[in-house]
Each structure stands twice: as C-alpha cells, then as structure tokens.
Amino acid sequence: MGAKVVVVGAGAREHALAWKLSRSPHVAHVFVAPGNAGMPVCFERWDLGSFEAFAKRCVVEHIDLVVIGPDNPLAEGITDILESHGLLVFGPSRKAAQIEASKSFAKDVMEAARVPTARFKVCDSAADAKKVIENESWPNGLVVKADGLAFGKGVHVCDNEEQALKAVAELAPHSPRLLIEERLAGEEVSWMAFCSGVDCSLLEPARDFKRLLDQDEGPNTGGMGALSPVPGVPAHWAERMQREVFEPTLRELQKRGCEFKGLLYAGLMVDFAQDRYWVLEFNARFGDPEAQVLLPRMKGDLYEWCRASAKGELAGWPRIVPFSEESAVTIVAAAPGYPQAPQSGILIEGFAAKSREDTMSAVPPLFSAAVKKDGDGFVSAGGRVFSVLGMGPSLKVAREKAYAHFSDLSFKGMQLRRDIGEKESRSQALPRIAIFASGRGSGFGAILNAIKNKELAAQVCVVFSDKNDAPVLELAKREGVPICCVDFSKFGRARRAEFEERVIAEMRTFQPDFLVFAGFMRLVSRFFIDAFRSPKGYSRIVNIHPSLLPSFPGRDSYAQAFEHGVKITGVSVHLVEEEMDGGPILAQEAFDISDLRTASEVEKRGLSVEHRLYPKVLNWFLQEQFQVETLSSLASEIAGRRTRVLQN
C-alpha cells in the first residue's frame, strides 16, 4: 500500500511540497493541513487545530510522514509533539529550530562554528541599541533586526544611523531583543540542504528577491520571486558550503543538544569578486518562494529524501541532490497593501482556468497561497496570493514563460515585480571567458572596458594567473572579477603536467566557455588544449601575439621587428595550438613603424593596436561561436587560414 503524507502549512511553498510529494511512486495520499482553497482538490485538506489533536488524527489515519512547511509551528515545537506520538516528521525539533527562530542564537552558533557572518551586537533594550548605533562605526550602513520570527519583515536595512534609530523605534515595541549588524554588499544566494545529525545533502542554490519593488527598492517582504540556478555561483561552491557552513553548523547544533534534522537553509550574501560570503541567516525549512523553483528542478523522489532525513539515515546518500539542467523562475503576485496591510477579498480573474492547466503540464503553472473561495470564484485572502512558475532551457525562457501566465491571470491592485531574473538571464546568456595573464593585465583592462562599453558581449568569469604576485590579480580584485592563481614556480618545468592538471581542475569550477590569453607567458601542452577543445574540434583558447605571424614568434616580438628593420609589423589574434604561436589565425592588423626610433616606441604603438583589436575580434569570434550554426563556415575559414584583416 502507498504511503500517506501530510504537509503542514497553507502557502505556495506547501502547494509545491504537496505536488512534489504526490509524484513519488511510494506516495498514495497527500493531505494538507490546513492548505488553502486554491490548491488542487486531490490534496485533501485538514484543519490543523492544536498540535495534540493534529497528532492524534495523524496516528488514527496511519500517516507515514509529516512534512512541516513553515517556521512558526517548528518554533512552537510541532515536531516534538508529533514525535511523542510515534510519528515520523520532516522538520527539526523546537530546540533545533531556534537556529531560525532566534537570530541571537543563530549568531552564537555561527560564531562558535566559525561560519562567516556579519559583525553584530545583541541589544536587550531600545536604549542599548541606540548606544550601539551611536557609539560604534558603521561605514557601510547597518541592519536592525528583531530577534524573533517576523516573516522576513522584522529586518530594516539602513543607509545610516538616523534610519537605524528610526528602525529601532519601530521594532522595539514588538521585540524586546534587537540585533544591530553591519550592512554587507553583494549578491544574495539561498542555499538549502537535507540534513540529519551531521550529514547533509545539498540542493542547488536559488535566488530570492526580497524587496517589494523593482530594482530592489521598497520594504523587505517574505519574497517576491525566485529563480534557480543562480548564474555566477562556481560549481565547487557546493562542496565548500558543505565543508564551511553546513557541517560545522550541524556539528555545533549537535554539540549543544539541538541535533538538526529536516531542511537547513543558509541565506548568504556573496561577494564573488573577493571569493567571499557571509551567512545572513539560517532557516529551518524550505524557502518560500525558493521551494517553488527548487522542487520542480529536483530530480528524484522528495518523499524518499524527506524520509531519510526524518529517520536520521542520510549518511550514504548522495552529498549533492541531483537536479535537472532546466531553469526555473517563479513570480509572486501580492495583494495591494502588502506587506503592511494586504487587502483581502479581491476577485482573481482567470484563477480556476489557470489551475486547470495543472493537469495538462508536467509542472504546475501556479502555486496557490492566500486564496479563498467566494461563490464560484477565488479571492485574495492575505499578502502573497499565489506564485506562477515558468521553466525552460534558460532563465530567459523560464522568465518569459512565468510572466506570460499573467496575460490571463490577474486581480485588481496586484503587486508584481517585473524584474525577477532580468539581470540573471542576461548574464546567463553571455559567453563566459577566463582571462589568463602573467603580468600587468593591460589587455584584460581593455577587454573589461569593451564589456563596460557594450562593445564586447561576454562576461569575465575569472582572471587566472600563474604568478602569485601578478599585478593583474590586484586589478581584477579592484574591478570585482573573481581571481584564481596556481603559482607555476611551485611546480617548475619538471612538473608542468601537474601544474596543468591543477589549472584544468580550477577552471572546471568557473566553467569558462573560452580561455583568453592576455599576456600569459606560458606554453601549454596538447593535453591542456584538448581539455578546452570544442566538440567540433577547435581549440577554445585564444591568444594575441604582437607580430604579423608567422613572423617573429616567441618572446619580445616588437623588439625583434624593430631590430630586423621591418617597416610594417602588426598583431595577430589566433587560436592556441601546440606549436608556439602557431594556431589558426583569426585576425591580424598591420601598422607602419618606419617613423619610430626605438623598440619601446614600437611596443607602445603595438599595445594600442592590441587593445583595440583584441576585444573586437573576441566579440566577433564569441558571437559566431555562440550562434553554433555558423561554426562550420568558420571552421573552413580557419582551416584554410583565411584571415580577416579588420579595419580600424
């Protein structure tokens, strides 16, 4: 006989949980307690009532697993009560749920576990908070947080001390304990893991959009939309999060007698350029709206994952939860007045028809939240009314599909962010280049400028150097570009193969589409080149050489040209193959040097040509590469060594 599962909660997240659980071959019935009126009728609704009464009903009905959606019941100890009746529960005990319910507890755990987090002070009165705000220095702004649960609304992000004092005045009457915290800059990432004891299996990251209005303006909310995957998160970060965040936190909780099981959610602020992150908060459950994008992308059986976590049997399960390659975007439709005073009772046009599409598609078009039935129709009944889902091969497509739902689904005064995933879909679509440089990186500077001026449609995913002290690394840091260094001197010529293997492994985590050499003073082997070869057979490594190849290969080409007394020299952009400066030439530009008196004058003129030519050729080359259909013509062009001479 199939299993019976109850999902506790009433929002869109719980709709997503119920939907995903219902797809398990092991599950026969999914109940929701209390659920909402907009959920499909296949999810039978129960009253939640008191935890005791609910537990008894679960026992009578032979429920196999209870999955807790929201934070409040966890903080109130629903898991402890259900377990005392012998039920299996996915969700932490009251004590372990403090990691979310008490921000000061969470900070304490983070400090003890050495998890990076923002500098903070706990204050037990408004007067105390005022002192901390006024007496300490907060150069980057500050954040005032109520200690307890507040549905994401107990947090005020402030530019200055004056705003912070106002926030204290607002929050103090509702929360005796406040946290004052330094404000961090970066990109937010929500990262979740199935956990039991000290074992954890990570999901893919998601991004949640917390502010009410476009461009991250307006007050904080529970979340106005979400997407997954998050462009820019290096693949190796999953393992890093496990090692540096989840495992130490789980161990610390265990040490305190607060052993965690269920879903642990780390809300991160990430500075990709500095390769740093901080944990802003932990939650003890799935994010809402993150669940609405994660669960549709998750492969495999949610029921089995929840059961293994609940039973403390995660050891031996994959450490990374398998996900599909697809992208998902969800948009929240909120009632007018949200988050302060949402209006209820507004008729939702098109709701029933949209819900019916559910049975025709692999993923639900919408997840219902604060929705009530009113006669034949559905009306709003709270803040976040429902969220819609779009999925596709890219964030761009997923986003278009998500927004398209609103063509026949809306209500009066509906609040909607229009920019969910806008920036991310643009960056996901751009070719990713890794710059390889050993020196100053003036070529990198020129490439960056071209990107800023929209002359080169690409993103630099990393700057790599084979020298620890290469100034290009400093430049990259200043420009906010991630850096990576494998110091060649530690390997030496005899261990070149090992050096190359390391570089290849590092690059795998940044996932560049192309390697762009800009003053990279190292010959690479065939093995290295093959690691970046396209399926069609070309090298995906581009180099710029300061001569008209095949003249003057090797080092000091400008000086060689000058000494030979040539009247015209130039620069060549070519693909890197094994023979030195010998790969197929993509473009060349010649210039007259007959008027120049020294080799360094030649170099100066050459550099200005390089800085103009390289971004231009890269743009052309990357675009053609990306419109894959033209590849064969490019291939024959390259094979025939027909080169394009670009005009100024």
- From the list 147, 288, 513, 581, the catalytic residue is 581
Q: Strand pairing of 327-334 and 225-228?
A: antiparallel
Handedness of CA 577, 579, 584, 586 (dihedral sign): positive
Does residue number 153 form part of the binding site for ligand AMP (CB under 6 A)?
no
Range 558-561 contact pairs with CB under 8 angstroms and sequence separation of 24 or more: 558/599, 558/602, 558/603, 558/606, 559/599, 559/602, 559/603, 561/593, 561/602
Is 355 catalytic? The answer is no
72 assigned to active site: no
Residue number, nearest CB to ligand AMP: 281
Pick the piece of the chain touching ligand AMP (CB under 6 A) from 19-27, 85-93, 180-188, 248-256: 180-188
Q: Which CB atom, from 234 or from 267, has the smaller least distance to ligand AMP? A: 267
Q: Which of the listed partners (ligand GLY, ligand AMP, none) does 634 bind, with a CB threshold of 5 to 8 Å by partner kind?
A: none
* Residue closer to ligand GLY, measured from CB, 73 or 223: 223
Q: DSSP readout, 415-437?
A: B--S-TTHHHHHHHHSPEEEEE-
Options 151-159, 289-297, 332-340, 534-542: segment touching ligand AMP (CB under 6 A)? 151-159
Does 223 contact ligand GLY by CB under 6 A? yes
Reference 481, options 430, 435, 513; nearest CA is 435
Give the one entry of ligand GLY, ligand AMP, none that residue 93 binds, where binding means its C-beta sits below a cut-off of 5 to 8 angstroms depending on kind: none
Q: Cα(78)–Cα(90) distance, rounded to whole angstroms?
A: 11
288 binds, among ligand GLY, ligand AMP, none (CB under 5 to 8 A by kind): ligand GLY
Residue 210 touches ligand AMP, criterion: CB under 6 A: yes
Q: How far is the CB of 282 from ligand AMP (least distance, A)?
A: 9
How many C-beta atoms lie closer than 10 Å to residue 181's C-beta? 22
Structure tokens at 48: 């939640």
Among 64, 252, 259, 290, binds ligand GLY (CB under 6 A): 290
Distances (CA, A) of 501 to 496, 522, 541, 590: 9, 14, 16, 37
SS3 330: strand
Phi, psi of 212 (to 5 degrees): -65, -35
Most distant CA pair in the chain: distance in Å? 96
Q: Smaller CB distance to ligand GLY: residue 26 or 211? A: 211
Q: Please, which of residues 130-149 interact with ligand AMP by CB under 6 A?
A: 143, 145
The answer to whether 545 is a known catalytic residue is: yes
Cα(364)–Cα(420) distance, rounded to whole angstroms?
A: 19
Nearer to ligand GLY, 9 or 231 (CB): 9
Q: Which two tokens stand for residue 567?
A: 């009247």
Count CB atoms within 10 A of the CB of residue 360: 7
Q: How many residues bind ligand GLY (CB under 6 A)?
A: 8
- Applying CB under 6 A, the span of 177-185, 548-556, 558-566, 612-620 interacting with ligand AMP comes to 177-185
Q: How far is the CB of 71 from ligand AMP (least distance, A)?
A: 11
The helix (H) or strand (E) run that includes residue 366 is strand 366-368
Q: What is d(CA 282, CA 97) in angstroms, rounded to the nearest whole number?
A: 10
Answer yes or no whether residue 184 interacts with ligand AMP by CB under 6 A. yes
- The answer to whether 85 is a known catalytic residue is no
Shortest Cβ distance from residue 29 to ligand AMP (Å)? Answer: 35
Could you say which of 543, 547, 557, 619 is catalytic?
Answer: 543
**Residue 118 touches ligand AMP, criterion: CB under 6 A:** yes
Q: Quick one: what does residue 544 bind among ligand AMP, ligand GLY, none, with the CB cut-off 5 to 8 Å set by partner type?
A: none
9 binds ligand GLY (CB under 6 A): no
Spatial distance between the Cα atoms of 420 and 213, rounded to a whole number of angstroms: 10
Q: Indicate the residue among 281 and 589 with the shorter CB distance to ligand AMP.
A: 281
In the shown chain, the binding pattern of residues 224 to 263 toward ligand GLY, with x for contact by CB under 6 A and - for none, equals ----------------------------------------
Distance separating alpha carbons of residues 369 and 376, to the nearest angstrom:
18
285/611 with CB nearer ligand GLY: 285
CA separation for the pair 385, 415 (Å, rounded): 10
| Residues numbered 127-166 forming contacts with ligand GLY, rule: CB under 6 A | 152
Using a 10 angstrom Cβ sphere, with 0-12 exposed, 13-18 middle and 19 or more buried, the burial of residue 100 is: buried
What Cα–Cα distance (Å) separates residue 388 from each residue in 345, 375, 411?
20, 23, 14
223 binds, among ligand AMP, ligand GLY, none (CB under 5 to 8 A by kind): ligand GLY
417 is in the binding site of which of ligand AMP, ligand GLY, none (Cβ under 5 to 8 A by kind)? none
CA distance 437 to 439: 6
The distance of Cα 127 from the centroid of its chain, to the nearest Å, equals: 38
Q: Closest distance between ligand GLY and the C-beta of residue 351, in Å?
A: 23
Active-site pick, 15, 156, 545, 574: 545
CA 400/CA 452 separation, integer angstroms: 26
Of 634, 608, 609, 610, nearest to 620 (Cα)? Answer: 634
Q: Does 205 bind ligand GLY (CB under 6 A)?
A: no
Contact 403, 571 (CB under 8 A): no
Q: Is 283 in the site for ligand GLY (CB under 6 A)?
A: yes
- Which CB, 152 or 606, lies closer to ligand AMP? 152
3-state class of 323 per DSSP? strand
Interface with ligand AMP, residue 267, by CB under 6 A: yes
Please report how the helices 442-452 and 599-626 are oriented relative to each other, as an axis angle in degrees rounded to 10: 50
Which of 539, 572, 574, 619 is catalytic? The answer is 572
Tell me, rounded to whole angstroms, the distance of Cα 180 from its chain centroid. 26
Piece of 73-81, 286-294, 332-340, 592-600 that binds ligand GLY (CB under 6 A): 286-294
Q: Least CB distance from residue 421 to ligand AMP, whole Å? A: 17
Backbone angles phi, psi at 385, to 5 degrees: -80, -50
Backbone angles phi, psi at 624, to 5 degrees: -65, -40
Rounded least distance, CB 226 to ligand AMP, Å:
12
Report, as residue numbers or ranges, the catalytic residues: 543, 545, 572, 581
By the criterion CB under 6 A, which residues form the site for ligand GLY? 152, 208, 222-223, 283, 287-288, 290
By the criterion CB under 6 A, which residues form the site for ligand AMP? 118, 143, 145, 152, 155, 157, 181, 183-184, 188, 210, 220, 267, 269, 280-281
